[in-house]
Amino acid sequence: MGIDEFVTKLDTVIINPILALMFAAGFVVFVWGVVEFLMGQNGIGEGAHNGKNHMLWGIIGMFIMVAAYAILQIIAHTLNVQLPS
Q: What residues does each domain of the chain span?
A: 19-76
Choose between 63 and 16: higher pLDDT. 63
CA 63 to chain centre: 6
Query: pLDDT band at residue 80, thresholds of 50, 70 and 90?
Result: confident
The string of pLDDT tens digits covering residues 5-52 is 787 788 788 888 898 899 999 999 999 999 988 888 776 667 788 889
Alpha-carbon distance of 82 to 56, in angstroms, equals: 34
Q: Whole-model pTM above 0.85?
A: no
